[in-house]
Structure 1
Amino acid sequence: MLSRFDINRLLLALILTVLSLVFGMTGFIVVENYGIIDAFYMTVTTVATVGFGEIHTFSQEGRLFVSFYILYNLVVVAYLVSVFSTFIFDGELRKIFKMYRVDQEIKRFSGHVILCGFGRNGRKAHHDLVMNGARVVVIEQDEQLIKSLNDGENEEDPMATGRIFAVFGDATNDLVLQQAGVARASALITALPSDADNVFVALSARALNSRLNIIARASYKTSESKLISAGANSVVMPDEIGGSHMANLVVRPEVIRFLDLISGLSADKLRLEELSYAQIRQDRQGQSIRELDIRSRTGATIIGLRQHNGSLLVSPSPDYVPAPGDVLLVLGSEAQIESFEVQYRQL
C-alpha cells in the first residue's frame, strides 16, 4: 500500500517542478525583459540543458541569474529523477492507480456501512457484514494492517478484489469521514480503542448525516451516556458482554449454547432473519401469522415481531395480522431461512 510519505514525496516533486518554471520565467521577464512566451522557452531550454542558445545576448545580471538557476535545477532535477525512478521501477505508480480506482468506487457507494477501526472487534464486524452482503468501507490509520490482510487474500491484485475498501486516516477528521462517503452511508460502526475518539466520531458523523445509524464501542460504562448524547443509536461494551457470557455459561449453559447457535459461534449454527412488512410479497400482505403458515411451509419459526410503534411481541399470536411498519423476526437453519425468503420476500 502506498504510504503517506511516498505521496508527500511525489507532491513535493511536482511542487518543485512548478516552482522552478515560475521562478525561471519570472527571472527572465524581470532581468532580461522577455515576453511570457520567450521567458517560457528560455526556462524550458535552460532546465533541459539542450543549449539552443539565447534569444539575445544576456546582460551581466542575466548571466548571474542563469548560473544560479542552473545550479538550483541540478538539485531539483536530481530529486525529480530519484522520486520518479522509485515510482516507476518500484511499482508505486501502479499502487497510486489502485488507490485512485478504489477511491472512485467508494464515491459510487450508497447505503453502505462505514467501519472506523480495524482491530479485533472491527475485523469481526467487517467479516460478518461482508458475509451478509453489506458493502463496507473501513477507516484505518495503520496502512500496513490493511495491506497484510489484502495480501493474504489476493497476492496478485489485492485491491482489485474489492474485499477491503479502505480509507487511510483519522476517523475523527471530517474530511476522512466524507472521503468514506458518510453522507451516503446507512450505518457507521466506530470501534476505535479510545472512548473519547468514539465520542468524537459519533458527534462528527451525526452532524454530517442526521439519518445515519451509529453503533459505538465503549470500554467504560460512564462513556455510554456520552456516546448516546453525541449521536450514537446503540452502544456496545465488549468486555461487559464477554463477562456476562462467561457467567451465564455457569448458571444457564443451555441458554448460552442456544444463543451461540444463533450468533454463529457454534458449528451447527442457526440463522435469525428479519423481514419488514414492506418486504413481504404483495400476495401475502394482509394475511395473519396463521394464514402465512411459515413454519409448515419452510420449517422456520416466527419468534418475535417488532411493531411499528416500537414495541416487541415475543411469540406473537397466530391471529395477529402484520401491519405496515412491522418487522418479523424469523429463526431457522440456513436452508429453512433460504426457503422462507424464496416464498415470502419480494424479489
Structure 2
Amino acid sequence: MLQRFNINRLILAFVLTGLSLIFGMAGFTYIEHYGPVDAFYMTVTTVATVGFGEIHTFSEAGRLFVSFYILYNLVVVAYLVSVFSSFIFDGELRKIYRMIRTDQEIKRFSGHVIVCGFGRNGRRAYQELRASGARVVVIEANQELMKNITEGHTGEDYDGDGVPGGNIYTVFGDATTDLVLKQAGVERASALITSLPKDADNVFVALSARALNPRLKIIARASLKTSESKLLSAGADSVVMPDEIGGSHMAKLVVRPEVIRFLDLISGLSADKLRLEEMTFAQLRKDLHGRSIRELDVRSITGATIIGLRKADGSLLVSPGVDYVLAPGDVLLVLGSEEQIETFEVRFRQL
C-alpha cells in the first residue's frame, strides 16, 4: 500500500503543477489580455521564478494576481521538489519499476496458487507449495512485513537456495477486494489459500474468489468452529483450523506418540521425512492401463508402497487388494522416501 501511496503523491504533484499552469495562463489571458503564447511564456517564467521581466507593464489587478500566484507556486514547487527528492534518494523509482514488472509477470501466470495473508500459516503454505514446484502469488497488506521477509531479516529461506529471503511475487492490498484478487490473477489461478487473521475476512475472500472463478479450489483458515459452515457456504472447498489441529496433535503425542512421529515423517516435520504422493489414472503410463496392483509391482520396482486408493466414486480404499484393477478416475496414494518417489514418478508417470 505504501508504494501505491507514493505513486498517488507523484500523480498529485503533476496534477497540481498542471492546474497551476492552467490557472496562470487563464489569469494572464483574462487580466492582462495576453495571447496564448505570451500567457504561457509569462506563466512559465513566473512559476520558474527566473525573472525575465514583463511583456508589458502589469495593471494593479495583474500585480495582485502575480503576487498571489507566486505564493501559491512556492507551495506547489516545494511539494513537487519534495516528492521528486523522495523518489530519487529513497529509491522509490526503483521500487515502482519493480512493482510494475511484478504486475506484468503475474499477468502471464496461469494455473498458479494464490496465498492471501503471509502470517505463520501463509508462510508455511507458501514454502510447501514452492517445494512442490507450484507457482505462487501472495496477497499481503503489510508491505514492511514483506520487505523484511524478502530481504532475509526473518532468517527464513523462500527460494530453497539456502540463503534467507527470496523473490516472492506479491500483490499489496486488501485480499477481500475484487480488484486486488484480479491483480493476483484469480481468474486464471488453479487454487487459493486464504489465511487471514479474521474469519470474517476469509469468508469474504472465499465468496469473492468463488464468484470470480467458479472452478477455483479454495482452502480457508478458520479460528472458530462456528466459522466452518459459513466458509463452506461462501465457496470454500476445505476449511482448516490450525489451533484445533495443534491441540489434537499435542494430545496424541501423549497417548499415541509413535503414530504422531510417523505422521511427522509424512508431513515433513521430521528430519528423516517421507513423501506421500498421488497419481491419477490419467497420469499413469498408457501401457499400464488395465493392470492390477499386483501386476504394477510398485514395491519391487521402486521400493515405495501403495497405501491407499481413491476410487472414481469418491470412496477410499486403505491398503487396496493386490488384485484390484485400476480404472479411469482412480487416484493412487504412494508412500516412500524422496528417492523412491522420484523413481516411481520416472517409471510410472506418463511423459
Report the TM-score, using the length of structure 1 for normalisation: 0.91
The equivalent position to 1:235 in structure 2, one of 239, 253, 264, is 239
Structure 1 gap segments, 5+ residues each? none
The superposition leaves residues 74-112 of structure 1 with CA deviations (integer Å, 9 ceiling, x where unpaired) of: 211111112211211222211111111112111211111
The superposition leaves residues 254-307 of structure 1 with CA deviations (integer Å, 9 ceiling, x where unpaired) of: 211111110011111100011122222233233322222211111111111222
Q: Percent identity?
A: 77
The equivalent position to 1:191 in structure 2, one of 192, 195, 211, is 195
2:9 alignment partner in structure 1: 9
User: How far apart, in 2, do the equivalents of 1:276 and 1:28 lie?
Assistant: 77
User: How far apart, in 2, do the equivalents of 1:98 and 1:67 lie?
Assistant: 43
Contact 1:117 1:140 (C-alpha < 8 Å) held by counterparts: yes
User: How far apart, in 1, do the equivalents of 2:28 and 2:290 lie?
Assistant: 83
1:254 alignment partner in structure 2: 258
**Structure 1 residues 202 and 57, CA gap change in structure 2 (3 angstroms):** same
The equivalent position to 1:182 in structure 2, one of 186, 192, 196, is 186
User: How far apart, in 2, do the equivalents of 1:40 and 1:241 lie?
Assistant: 70
1:204 alignment partner in structure 2: 208
Q: Does 1:316 align with 2:320?
A: yes
Query: Shift in Å at residue 6 of structure 1?
Result: 3.2
User: How far apart, in 2, do the equivalents of 1:27 and 1:320 lie?
Assistant: 90
User: How far apart, in 2, do the equivalents of 1:32 and 1:162 lie?
Assistant: 61
2:68 alignment partner in structure 1: 68
The equivalent position to 1:299 in structure 2, one of 291, 296, 303, is 303
Note the 1:1-347 alignment, pairs <5 A: 3-34=3-34, 36=36, 38-52=38-52, 58-152=58-152, 163-347=167-351
User: How far apart, in 2, do the equivalents of 1:94 and 1:278 lie?
Assistant: 46
Question: What SS does the corresponding residue of 1:175 show, helix, strand or coil?
Answer: helix
User: How far apart, in 2, do the equivalents of 1:340 and 1:301 lie?
Assistant: 10
Q: Specify the code of the residue in structure 2 equivalent to 1:112.
A: H
Question: What SS does the corresponding residue of 1:243 show, helix, strand or coil?
Answer: helix
Query: Shift in Å at residue 185 of structure 1?
Result: 1.1
User: RMSD of the TM alignment (CA)?
Assistant: 2.5
User: How far apart, in 1, do the equivalents of 2:254 and 2:22 lie?
Assistant: 76
Question: What SS does the corresponding residue of 2:151 show, helix, strand or coil?
Answer: helix
The superposition leaves residues 27-82 of structure 1 with CA deviations (integer Å, 9 ceiling, x where unpaired) of: 33443455555544443333223445556655443343233222211211111112
**Structure 1 residues 45 and 244, CA gap change in structure 2 (3 angstroms):** same
Q: Specify the code of the residue in structure 1 equivalent to 2:126.
A: H
User: How far apart, in 1, do the equivalents of 2:283 and 2:53 lie?
Assistant: 77
Q: Specify the code of the residue in structure 1 equivalent to 2:106.
A: I
Contact 1:199 1:230 (C-alpha < 8 Å) held by counterparts: yes
Q: State which drifts further: 221-230 or 312-321.
A: 312-321
